[in-house]
Amino acid sequence: MGTSLTPKNSHLPALPPRPDPQHADCRGVASVLARVGDKWSVFVIMMLGDGPKRFNELKRMINGISQRMLTLTLRGLERDGLVTRTIFPTIPPRVDYELTDLGHGLARPVQELGMWAKNHQNQIEAARSRFDARKPA
């Protein structure tokens, strides 16, 4: 018995559509928004808005943040060019964190977002309570 060289399964799935070039930067924007939209980053940027702070000063100002989370947040903000870290050669060494020009550009919208959240906290909580009180359909 011979082998047939004619294809038996010629139905091939279509290739996925190529991304729209107008949306090619979505991944990059998403990574930036993930950093600046992170709650701890928002708090750090808000606290640094009026000038440089030391690590322990930031930790006291940001209720609930652990030392490890503050360290990771500051490193991420420094990596993204939003915060600078300056070490002073004293004993013990002093380290200050400060917003860069790029960070200052972000500070105003972040401050406004924080104030909006504070000003509307009661309304949002009331809406959540109403939503949670509804019986499931």
Domain containing 83 — which CATH number? 1.10.10.10
Q: Which two tokens stand for residue 19?
A: 């991304």
Please give the pLDDT value at position 113.
85
Residue 33 maps to a domain:
yes
| Other residues' Cβ atoms within 10 Å of the Cβ of residue 73 | 23
Residue 46 maps to a domain:
yes
Residue 11 maps to a domain:
no
Please give the pLDDT value at position 37.
77
Low-confidence ranges of the chain (pLDDT < 50): none
Spatial strand order of the sheet with 53-54 comes to: 53-54, 94-99, 83-88
Residue 14 maps to a domain:
no
Q: Which domain holds residue 40?
A: 26-133
Please give the pLDDT value at position 6.
59
Number of structural domains in the chain = 1
CA angle 63, 106, 41 (to 5 degrees): 30
Please give the pLDDT value at position 114.
82
DSSP reduced 3-state for 98: strand
Please give the pLDDT value at position 28.
73
Residue 6 maps to a domain:
no
Residue 36 maps to a domain:
yes
Please give the pLDDT value at position 4.
58
Please give the pLDDT value at position 57.
96
